[in-house]
Amino acid sequence: MKMLMAVSGALFVFYVLAHMYGNLKIFSGVEAFDEYAEHLRTMFTPFLPFGGFLWLFRLLLVAALVAHAWSAFYLWSRARGARTTRYVAKEAAKATVKSRMMRWGGVALLLFLVWHLLQFTIVKFNVGSMAAENSPGLLVISSFQVWWVVLIYVLALVALGLHLYHGVWSATQTLGWAGNAAARARAKTLATVIAIVTSVGFALPPLAILFGIVKGS
C-alpha cells in the first residue's frame, strides 16, 4: 500500500517536472507555448490518433491519482482504526506536524487540481480580460493578470512544495533507498531540490505575468 503510494507519488514528481518545463515555455512567447500545447496532442500521431498520447497520459495520471489518493485514504482510515480510543493528552513531535500537513496538504492540492483543470483544461473559463479563444497561451496570460488567481496558485505551490519535500523523502524511505546516513542525507537533499525547483519553477510564469514581464501581445 505504501509502495503504491510511493510509486504513484513518484510518477507525479516526474509529471510535475515535465509540466513545469512546459509552463516555462511561456517565457519564449505565446506561440512557443501554443506550439508546445499542440505538440502534446500530435505526439506519436502516426501511431496514435490526434490527442491520443495526451489521452493515454491523462489516463495514466488519473489512475495514479486514484491510487495515490486511495492509498492515502486507506492508510488514514487504517490509522484511525488502529486507535479507536484516543489519548486525552498527546504531544505531537515536529515530525508529526509535517506528516499531518501531508494529509491536509494533499486534500488541498486535490481541491486545487479540480479548480486548475476546470480553468485550463475542461471548461477553459477566462476570468481575465483578454480574448483568448483557441490560444492556451493567451488564456494563461489573461488569467494570471488577475491577482487573486495568482494568489491561489502561489498558495497551492507552497502546499505542493511542502508535499513534495516530505513526499519525496518519505518515498525514498518507503522504497528502502535511505538505509544509511549518507543515503538519508542524499534523499533529503534530493527532496529539497525537487521541492524548491518545482514550486519556484511553477511560480515564475504567473508572477511574471502578474508583474507584466510576460505580456500577451
Partner 1 sequence: MNLTLKIWRQAGPKTKGEMVTYPVTDISADMSFLEMLDVLNEQLNARGEEPIAFDSDCREGICGMCGLMISGKAHGPEVTTTCQLHMRSFSDGDEITIEPWRADAFPVIKDLVVDRSSFDRIIQAGGFISANTGSAPEAHSVPVPKHHADRSFMAAACIGCGACVAACPNASGMLFTAAKITHLGELPQGQPERSARVVNMLDQHDREGFGGCTNIGECSLACPKEIPLDVINQLNKDLRYALIHHGTPE
Q: At closest approach, how far in Å is the CB of 86 from partner 1? A: 7
Backbone angles phi and psi of 48, in degrees to 5:
-125, 150
Of the pair 90, 212, the CB lying nearest partner 1 is at 90
Of the pair 101, 146, the CB lying nearest partner 1 is at 101
Of the pair 41, 103, the CB lying nearest partner 1 is at 103
Query: What nine digits make up the cell of 181?
Result: 546516513
Q: At closest approach, how far in Å is the CB of 197 from partner 1? A: 22
Q: At closest approach, how far in Å is the CB of 106 from partner 1? A: 11
Of the pair 92, 123, the CB lying nearest partner 1 is at 92
What does the chain come to in residues? 217
Q: At closest approach, how far in Å is the CB of 187 from partner 1? A: 9
* Site for partner 1, rule CB under 8 A: 1-3, 74-75, 78-79, 81-93, 95-96, 98-100, 102, 169-170, 173-180, 184
Q: Are 191 and 165 in contact (CB under 8 A)?
A: yes
Q: Are 5 and 71 in contact (CB under 8 A)?
A: yes
Query: What nine digits make up the cell of 203?
Result: 511560480
Within 8 A by CB and 6+ apart from 91, the residues are none
Backbone angles phi and psi of 167, in degrees to 5:
-65, -45
Q: At closest approach, how far in Å is the CB of 184 from partner 1? A: 7
Of the pair 19, 98, the CB lying nearest partner 1 is at 98
d(Cα 146, Cα 210) in Å, to the nearest integer? Answer: 7
